[in-house]
Amino acid sequence: MSWLMSINPWATLVVAGLLEVLWASGLKTVSLQRPLASLGVLLALTGSMVLLWIATQRLPIGTAYAVWTGIGAVGAALVGMAVYQEPATAVRMVCILLIVAGIVGLKLFSGAPA
Q: What burial letters (b/e) apply to 71-101, b meaning 16+ CB within 10 Å?
A: bbbbbbbbbbbeeeeeeeeeeeeeebeebee
The Cα 36–Cα 34 span in angstroms is 6
Number of Cβ within 10 Å of residue 48's Cβ equals 23
Question: What are the pLDDT tens digits along the chain (114 aa)?
Answer: 677 678 899 999 999 999 999 999 999 989 889 999 999 999 999 999 999 999 999 999 999 999 999 999 999 999 999 999 999 999 999 999 999 999 999 988 877 666
